[in-house]
Each structure stands twice: as C-alpha cells, then as structure tokens.
Amino acid sequence: MRQLVAALMLSILALPALAIAPDASMRPHARGQEAAVLNMRPKLRVQIKLGDAAALPLRPKPRPVSEQEKAMVLSGGAMVLLASAAAGLPQSARPLARPKGLAQKVMGQRQKRKRELVRGSVCGDPALQGEVVGRVPGRINGCGVDNAIKLRSVAGVKLSQSSTMDCGTAKALKVWVEKGVKPALGNRGGGVSTIEVAAHYACRTRNNKKGAKISEHGKGRAIDVSGFTLKNGQTITLLKGWRSAKDGPALKRMHKAACGPFGTVLGPNADRYHQDHFHFDTARYRSGSYCK
C-alpha cells in the first residue's frame, strides 16, 4: 500500500515539469531555415532570415579602374590590374609594383642630363650653355676680350645667335633672365623660348661714331636685345611693343630689372639710337648703374 502511494505522489510532482517543457529543440537551425531570434538590445528581439543574411555582400565591390591606372597599361603591374578588373575580381589596396629597373632608368637619365649640362656649361655655371673661346684680339686699340665665351642659351632660354662676351656679362644676363624676363612674361604663350640678340661683341666705337670711345661691345661686356620669341611662336619686339598697351608693361618691367645686374641699361626712352633694342653692359660707375 505504501509503495502505491509513493508512486502516485511522484506522478503528481512530475506533471508541472511536463506542462512547461519546451516544444522545440535548442539546437541551431540548418542553413536556409528560420534563424534564431537575436538579442540586439535588452528586451528587444529582431528576427531575420538566414537566406536574407546570406544575400548581404561579405566583400566590397571592386573599385573602377582610374584614368591614371589605364595610362599605366604598358607596365606589367597595370596589365594585371586591368585583367582582374575585367574579370570582376576584388582588387588589392596595395600600390602597384614599380616596373623592374624603373628607378635605375630614371637615375640614369638624370645623370646623363647632368653630364650634358656640365659638359656644355661655361663660366662654371650649368645654366650658361656655350663654348669657351679664349682670347679675342681687337683690330683696333682698346678692343678685344680676355677669356671670352660664346653663349648660346641662358637659364634654359636660347639666344637667337651665339654671342661672344666675358663671364661677368654672361652671369649678369642670367640674373636678368631669371629675375626680369621670366617673371615679366610668365606663362604667356607657354613662356619665353628665345631672346632675340641684335648685337654682341663688335670692335667699334660708341654708336659707331668716328673718334668716339671704344664701345663696351668692343670689350665683350655688352649685348643688345631687340625682342623675344615665345614657345607658341609669338614674337614681342621693342620697336612695336615698348609703347603698346599689350607688351609695354612687360618690357618696361624687364628694363627696370636690368638695372643692377648691368652697369648701363638703355632703352627706347634713352635716345634715337635705342628705339628698337635694349643695350646692356657691365661697365661700372662710381654713382651706380646708369639706366635710361
């Protein structure tokens, strides 16, 4: 009797546990079935489908090929890049590998250019390109040049004719080109290409007057400039441009910049002999540069 009562008591105690038992397994669902409820915040549950989650991209889409990278198509690294882009493959964020031997090639070109500049330089300055002439004797007393050079370009600007002068005059010309000509013209027409030389060394008197003193041209200390040619082929002349609204301001700025590097600076306002050119020379005066 006691055993029967104990069995009944155990059955009654087990009934609440059976009533509250879960009706679903706690095991995770297989792929493609409804997903478990995810806890996003306390007391907040969001239900999503595994199929929807699988549709989300796990990797970023390949970025489009830039124009710069297309321009590099001849390099090996760019060919690989374009091929991967065409196939729709994700691209690495790493920079393209530098083509083999590129650094050596660039350095070689720079060294070659430097050697060419040094080989063609005069007066110990690569910005002055020409050749050494040496002693130039004069046909009349007072003329001639010691240690003359024949200059063909200054600071990257060609002279319309190779000009004979001494190094002091060549260096003054360089200062004027860099601080006067280039700033005055800027990028107009692509920048200055050529300086039009009207005269350089010539064994003669001043203004070719009989009995006058020897000109600085006869000593290799002077150069006459009649105008400029720009990289686009446009020309600017002293004769037509000095008093024009278009070219006058730039030419007057150049005239002013020459005062200092040169001892004598003469332009169209000086006299009737200089209406179509600048006269520059390196004669020095106690009172300083003479500019007119």
Q: What is the DSSP string of 152-177?
A: EEETTEEEEEEEEE-HHHHHHHHHHI
Residues above pLDDT 90, as percent of the chain: 52
Residue 39's pLDDT is: 46
Nearest to 267 by CA among 234, 230, 228, 224: 224
Name which of 27-31, 75-79, 151-155, 194-198 the model is least confident about: 75-79
Better-predicted residue by pLDDT, 285 or 163: 163
Better-predicted residue by pLDDT, 109 or 200: 200
Better-predicted residue by pLDDT, 37 or 235: 235
Span 256-266, pLDDT tens digits:
999 999 999 99
Summary mean pLDDT of the chain: 79
51 DSSP assignment: H
Question: Cβ(32)–Cβ(40) under 8 Å?
Answer: no
Q: Among 1.10.30, 3.30.1380, 3.40.50, 1.10.3470, name the CATH number for the domain at 105-291.
A: 3.30.1380
Q: Would the pLDDT of 100 be above 80?
A: no
Nearest to 230 by CA among 178, 182, 197: 182
User: Measured between alpha carbons, how far apart are the two ends of the chain, in Å?
Assistant: 143
Residue 52's pLDDT is: 52
Question: What's the rounded mean pLDDT across residues 99-121?
Answer: 69
- Model confidence at 120, pLDDT cuts 50, 70, 90, reads confident
Q: Would the pLDDT of 119 be above 80?
A: no
Span 47-66, pLDDT tens digits:
545 455 445 555 666 667 66
What residues have CB less than 8 Å from 33, skipping those under 6 apart? 50
Q: Would the pLDDT of 148 be above 60?
A: yes
Residue 85's pLDDT is: 52
- Burial class from Cβ neighbours inside 10 Å (0-12, 13-18, 19+) for residue 85 reads middle
Name which of 31-40, 216-225, 261-270 the model is least confident about: 31-40
Residue 154's pLDDT is: 98
Better-predicted residue by pLDDT, 40 or 114: 114
Report CA torsion sign: 273, 276, 281, 287: positive
Question: What's the rounded mean pLDDT across residues 123-135?
Answer: 96
